Structure 1
Amino acid sequence: MSLDATHNAAIAVPRGKVRVLADVLPGGLARDVALVAATVLLLIGAGQVTIPLPWTPVPLSLGTFAVIASGAALGSVRGLAAVAIYFLAGIAGAPVFAQHTSGWHFASFGYLIGMVVAAPLVGYLAERGWSRTIPTMAISAAIGSLVVYAFGVPWLMHFVGADFGTALKLGVTPFLIGDGLKIAAIALLLPAGWKLLDRR
């Protein structure tokens, strides 16, 4: 067997599924465990890059960016595993959430629930080729962001006792520009990774 054939066999995935970027790395279970562990550390680090906003209890952070990018790069199963471990560690009391918080009794907890759903969804789309082009990756990232809001806003309404309009002002409007920049960055980075692989 040639070197190329051996390499291709090492990164093979089930027939009918489009590879995600993580599948380019050779290995099996050990590779997957290492990728998930590294992603958990990435999520913890990204969550600590925060900017508190005085008019809302929800801080601006890189958490959503890390979750969506990780889902697209790892795929649905590994993406879910990484975000779920991060989420459960925080629930259990590890200070891994934004601003070194833990538990569940805070205003942005609903967004964390949304991230657990968004990561495998974006990964599922990536497995079907959505991470390969800028337009489809942008759509996928936008869908992931909407999922995070779909869980975050109702929780925020409940937590602060606000109506829907007020919750939008507190938990969506202040972050739209940042979300646009995150979506644009992800839409450029993932397809660029595929282009580099194609050149090799």
Structure 2
Amino acid sequence: GEAGADVADFRRASEGDEQVKRDWARYQPIAFSGERLTESKPLIGAINGLALGAGLTCTFWFDLNIASTQARFSMRFAALGLTPELDSSWLLPRIVGLQRAKEMMLTARIYGAEEGRDLGLVRRVVEPEALEQEAISLAAEIAAHPRSTLATIKRMVFEDLLARDFSEIDRRSEDEFSAARRSPEHREALSALGQRREPRYHDAEHMASVAERMRRRS
């Protein structure tokens, strides 16, 4: 498949097509809300074709990306007389480094799957027929952990990226770690280790009983 804005839509918008403008105004804030994406459950991108322009920049907000050997990547904006969108001029240097990011944005070059992996756009490259199962396996590995812990980790990563004062990062890290040590999820992890069993993070009734026992002991 291919992902990216339709060049024909850009042309119609430049010619005053109000319907295209209304569609973009309605769709983009929903599809590409950075705040919504950072607060969501972990997101995995499985890229199996052309990821150009917005089709690439939206993946910068995903937590992990994998690609098939058929994937192609490009920051095509300069070739269309456009500037990078979806906060990508801020995100891309943090993903691939400043020099590589500027090369991608200034040249509008199209990169192959292996080049995308070497740049850091994706974690791994697999054959097209293996892509879906690879994504599912990765999702299952992540989903085994407590939802609240995963959400906190995601929030911490983005808040730390935005922080200008290291003391703020240090304070937040200490506060979150202290809170995690007092959580039912941590208590369940320790119990599971001691009893040589799998944690039951997603058993709501069991976790409620863990929380209740902790409350009584406090």
Task: Report if TM-score (shorter chain) is over 0.5.
Answer: no
Write 1 or 2 for the structure with the bigger share of helix: 1
Task: Give the structure, 1 or 2, with the largest relative contact order (CA under 8 Å, sep 6 or more).
Answer: 1
Write 1 or 2 for the structure with the bigger share of strand: 2
TM-score (structure 1 length as normaliser): 0.30
Computing the radius of gyration from Cα coordinates, the structure with the larger value is 2
